[in-house]
Structure 1
């Protein structure tokens, strides 16, 4: 079997380490990651390798040549422009006339390749995806499978509440040649996003891969993989090492000099030809590259130092990563998480704060302390968004700096698009709004600033009407939050969030020759009020009755109560031919709409509405909570049967079941496998159909280790019994 190694990535999340080096050539224990991949394939007899290259391709070609030195034959597929993980396969189509393997050039693993190939042959599918069991799957694409092993659906980097499986895509595949019928030669394509969804109907199989797997995607992942190798968790150690102390896991390369008085504490690796002077302490989980010189009295611990370092006396390097040919002069301190690119020179008595990045070939003056965002690109590893479209800023934890950085990342991801900005009117919200919008202007974005306090729904209406992106600020105590919306008034899609987070983490530079304009506007609230009346909410509306609500007072209460986070709409029985009152609670800040039920508050979402009305309900174009409510009221006005179905939903059984943190995806995965294939629909949770309009929905709750069970049944007493069945299953699957 032939293999294609995808080795064309730029590795932007690993910058500055990859500013001058292709990501697959980043060293692990002083050997490129890509070399581990080639050795892995060779071990299983896969010696005919096609290597897809793009960024800095010459570096890889010079290292591997024709592959003879590594016991393989390498054919290079060179992309003139990035073609994506699928597009680059087209370059080798004429060489791939039977089933072939696709592996990533920046991951290491020890999966049983023979077992994977046999599993693929037995499946009779067009493709097999290697799946790895991970308790936290949000950073990766997850796969939903049936008990047969067939893949039902893919979720590309899902939110926590959308994780239905503990298996993630490991970036390794086996494809039949027919896959090329699904790959376009005209544009870049991605295997995960573009090709796998097309193959679902043909049938895709998941191979449950067992063993070690690590994706070298971020600085923390890179360090973790290095530490795993040092610990011996996976046996991929370089063959050239002289293991001088197996008990303490201390490996010293040929020709290295360790002077007396040096303290070595494993696990650690010292490369060949390296000199460590007396009085040094080299602590655990350290790897020092070949040809380095560590001067007397220095301390290095938990760090990855590439080749040819020159560390002067009394220097401390703690939990850091140093690219090749760095020089750190005396009495300097590099703190945990700092990363230096190649050829950095620090003139001495320097301090580098936690998580600071220093770009290649930077010279830092003597006595300089690198601790702010802009001098050396400081960014913590935390996720930017705390929930869909929402970013929190704590004024006690550098929130003002974060607002400026967010603006920079937003501009890099979204371009110089116009932005409508508004707030709840508090002093803190106004401060953060001004910081964010003025920063956007400096990057060339025009700003439209609403002068009056408005609810989030009014801003979203403005985004929809004027096709502009939006930013809404509100505060509670010393924490201010910004909600970001797209040009249709929707919460930012996951793909755009990931793009912003990516640019935030690498502090992408954004330049502009002009400053964006700032236009002050007002009246969004009134325009939004008018639009609500036209949707059928309100007395005197041309398109619908008042539904028992006095619109004049509702308009006032609507805005006032939204500032207090929620308002209530109550539909009295007198407004309809029959049925009880329906009470809706709308929380615009949390972007939720709920219906008061007999057993607790029940969520109202587009997916649930689709289930209630058996997929016959036409949603409004803007599916914000208030627009969803408006659409519901219109439907009720036109068809009383819809109100009867909502009344039935209000009697649905509803309960919450505790689930151990990190186990939600495992439980949901087992619930899916336990059901019949054609009864399941995945949307905002697992929807299990029982026939005749009866269904159960099981979903994770945001920011809580709880699973929600809702069952709608024509016989409410049966709904309670069904809920209890699934409650017992959830508890059982956690054992």
Structure 2
């Protein structure tokens, strides 16, 4: 893919991912294994696929992990740079914090925890053809009450930013992908927290700037919760969500070094991490096994995450739950309904049922 002239990207990856604990105790949310690779790899591969090569990562929590894994970006065909956010600056503040690294007139900005199928070239084309100061990807959702909504006029111009309401006037929400003119970023106040939706965008509207909406119904998912993380990983494996980092979609991905017994059943977009083991008769549906996880004979894992080095013993049933790194779930235990087992915890055998944190 040839380079896309006049455009570069910023990816904001500074959050602590508290809603995904205990998984994010050991790694930032964008670095969690998702369909076999760190989640951020999927976004970076899509950015490169459309021809953008210069990418700045705005980091904070466990900032060193990103550079240790991606380095200068050469393996992905990218020129990666890093800027550490020393204190929380909110979204617009974090964007302003990387301004000194920017080179191009158009800057695509991404929230690093969103899985999206939007046509990135289409967003940039909308921005350029409308001569906007900022263009926002707006996605239509079935239930906009859970989100702030963003109405647009007949020409696609953004007219307001509205808080959550029981009767939203539109089904369009902010999808966490923007194109800024670089001058707009440079005008954001530096060195203090600035909210993009409560301060930057309303201020631009008041000043008469053009904020354009790029509206579509493409795949979109915020990976902020364990259930969403599992769904996103499964959708990537199955090809429901697009990624150049998943070359052959299917029912499951088994990474090199993993051992899966021939009688085990893997379905629903399951991922089995490197060095993991799945024993005879186990059934995995929409499961995410991090590296070195072990599933015993006849165990059932559905829509759940097993952390690195964790052990689920024979006959256990795990549904809609999270098992932390190196945790042990005893034989015939049952975990359901959002249970979370913290790293290193050992649950007893004898068929104990858990439906809360352990």
Give TM-score, length-normalised by structure 2: 0.90
CA contact (8 A) 1:112 1:209 kept: no
Question: Which of 331, 337, 340 is matched with 1:357 structurally?
Answer: 340
CA distance in 1, matches of 2:275, 2:257: 5
Q: Give secondary structure in 2 for the equivalent of 1:365.
A: coil
The match for 1:128 is 135
CA distance in 1, matches of 2:132, 2:120: 17
Structure 1 residue 237 displacement after superposition: 5.8
Q: Map 1:38-437; keep pairs closer than 5 Å.
A: 38-96=44-102, 98-156=105-163, 158-161=164-167, 163-180=168-185, 182-201=187-206, 202-209=209-216, 211-236=218-243, 238=245, 250=250, 267-334=251-318, 336-367=319-350, 369-371=352-354, 373=356, 376=358
Q: State which structure, 1 or 2, has the greater radius of gyration over its C-alpha atoms.
A: 1
- Could you tell me which runs of 5 or more consecutive residues in structure 2 were left unpaired when the two chains were aligned: 1-6
Q: Give secondary structure in 1 for the equivalent of 2:83.
A: strand
- Could you tell me which runs of 5 or more consecutive residues in structure 1 were left unpaired when the two chains were aligned: 244-248, 251-266, 377-735
Give RMSD over aligned pairs.
2.2
Cα deviation, 1:166-193, whole Å, max 9, x if unaligned, reads 1111111111233246522242122222
Structure 1 residue 210 displacement after superposition: 5.4
CA contact (8 A) 2:83 2:97 kept: yes
CA contact (8 A) 2:90 2:194 kept: yes
CA contact (8 A) 1:100 1:174 kept: yes
CA distance in 2, matches of 1:214, 1:286: 18
Runs of 4+ in 1 over 4 A off after TM superposition: none
Cα deviation, 1:273-314, whole Å, max 9, x if unaligned, reads 221225333343322222111122322223222221112223
Q: Map 1:240-639; keep pairs closer than 5 Å.
A: 250=250, 267-334=251-318, 336-367=319-350, 369-371=352-354, 373=356, 376=358
Cα deviation, 1:540-595, whole Å, max 9, x if unaligned, reads xxxxxxxxxxxxxxxxxxxxxxxxxxxxxxxxxxxxxxxxxxxxxxxxxxxxxxxx
In structure 2, the CA distance between the partners of 1:278 and 1:90, relative to structure 1 (3 Å rule), is closer
In structure 2, the CA distance between the partners of 1:113 and 1:235, relative to structure 1 (3 Å rule), is closer
CA distance in 2, matches of 1:177, 1:278: 55
Structure 1 residue 199 displacement after superposition: 1.1
Structure 1 residue 71 displacement after superposition: 0.4
CA distance in 1, matches of 2:232, 2:302: 17
In structure 2, the CA distance between the partners of 1:165 and 1:321, relative to structure 1 (3 Å rule), is same
Count of equivalent residues: 349
CA contact (8 A) 1:230 1:268 kept: yes
Deviates more, 1:229-238 or 1:39-48: 229-238
Higher relative contact order (CA 8 A, sep 6+): 2
Structure 1 residue 349 displacement after superposition: 3.4
CA contact (8 A) 1:182 1:198 kept: no
Structure 1 residue 235 displacement after superposition: 3.8
CA distance in 2, matches of 1:303, 1:47: 33
CA contact (8 A) 1:5 1:104 kept: yes
In structure 2, the CA distance between the partners of 1:211 and 1:176, relative to structure 1 (3 Å rule), is same
Q: Give secondary structure in 1 for the equivalent of 2:201.
A: helix
Deviates more, 1:69-78 or 1:94-103: 94-103
Q: Give secondary structure in 2 for the equivalent of 1:200.
A: helix
In structure 2, the CA distance between the partners of 1:102 and 1:278, relative to structure 1 (3 Å rule), is closer
In structure 2, the CA distance between the partners of 1:370 and 1:58, relative to structure 1 (3 Å rule), is farther
Structure 1 residue 350 displacement after superposition: 2.2
The match for 1:621 is none
Structure 1 residue 117 displacement after superposition: 1.8
Cα deviation, 1:58-80, whole Å, max 9, x if unaligned, reads 11111100111110111101011
CA distance in 1, matches of 2:262, 2:157: 60
Q: Give secondary structure in 2 for the equivalent of 1:154.
A: coil
CA contact (8 A) 2:114 2:223 kept: yes
CA distance in 2, matches of 1:88, 1:81: 10
CA contact (8 A) 2:276 2:293 kept: yes
CA distance in 1, matches of 2:309, 2:203: 47
